[in-house]
Chain A
Amino acid sequence: MERKTTIQAENGKQDLLITRDFDLPVELLFKAYQEPELVAQWMGTTVLKLENKQHGGWQFETTDAQNKVVFRANGVIHEFMPNRKITRTFQMENPPTSAQRFEVQLEFLEFEPLTVTTSRLTIHTVYRSVASRDLMMQLPFAKGLNMAHNRLQTIMNQVN
């Protein structure tokens, strides 16, 4: 499979760069970030709030089959330039363990047309520290482990 998404994360730095080219005009790509019902679809989350304006706020929430909140995040929008740029903060509300507390991160989302029908999204994320960046990057690892544990739990429950 072609790898369209690239991640640049240099060691010892507290930021990272995510780049992805889309087979979509830049207007459609931007719309996916603008319209709450579209955000909900591709992010697989519930959009509680999305105020697309300077000083506007946003909040997303994801629940599991038992209506238990598994993910909630919020932030403030600093810049909202249609088809060009969104600058916002992002903070997770429910850290996986109480020992871990996620600091707010700053995100610069830049949208650019490549051709009439293709576009590029660049997300530059700045974290408070190198450690918090590395922790965020390792989350999908932790998630995979949790899923494995949950599966094991389900199987064990059936055995009992």
Chain B
Amino acid sequence: MNLRRDVFQAIADPTRRAILLLVATQAMTAGAIAANFDTARPTVSKHLQILTECELLQQTQTGREIYYHLNAQKMKDVADFIEPFRAMWEERFTRLETIMKQYKSDK
């Protein structure tokens, strides 16, 4: 549970969410990631460190460069935690919408 909490802490930050979105399509170096933000390079490095520690990001060494890429399985774990709760509301609201459309046409 502690590890899971850390993951939620990680995605609670908007910059870190933006980083995850960036690397979702392709692996990137720290420099390439930092180039997308106005924030100071050490700040971005700190974010990358947190995301790596909680395993949302994985590092791969290619020559002298370290590439960051998304750990899809970990991201799925995060989504799964909220998903049953969200699905419950989705189902209720869809029923509400259907019932109210029927109610309207009955009027």
**Which A residues fall within an 8 A CB radius of B?**
3-7, 9-13, 18, 20, 22-24, 28-29, 31-32, 38, 41-44, 121, 137-141, 144
Contact A7 to B82, CB < 8 A, known contacts A18-B89, A20-B89, A28-B104: yes
Interface of B toward A, CB cutoff 8 Å: 5, 7-9, 11-12, 81-82, 84-90, 92-97, 99-101, 103-104
A41–B103 alpha-carbon span in the complex (Å): 11
Main secondary structure of the interface of B (DSSP, over half): helix
- CB closest chain-A residue, reference B101: A24
Pick from A4, A5, A18, A41: contact of B99, CB below 8 A.
Answer: A41
Contacts of A10 in B (CB 8 A): 8, 12
Q: Which residues of A contact B90 (CB under 8 A)?
A: 3-5, 20
Tell me whether B89 and A24 are in contact (CB under 8 A).
no
**Closest Cβ neighbor of A139 among chain B residues:** B85
Given contacts A11-B11, A28-B103, 16 further A-B contacts (CB under 8 A): A4-B94, A5-B90, A10-B8, A11-B9, A20-B89, A20-B90, A22-B100, A24-B100, A24-B101, A32-B96, A38-B103, A41-B95, A42-B99, A43-B92, A138-B85, A140-B85
B94 proximity list for chain A (CB < 8 A): 4
CB-defined A-B contacts under 8 Å, sample of 27: A3-B90, A4-B90, A6-B86, A7-B85, A7-B86, A7-B89, A9-B82, A11-B8, A11-B12, A12-B8, A12-B9, A12-B12, A13-B12, A18-B89, A20-B93, A22-B96, A22-B97, A22-B100, A28-B103, A29-B100, A31-B100, A38-B99, A42-B95, A44-B95, A138-B85, A140-B88, A144-B84
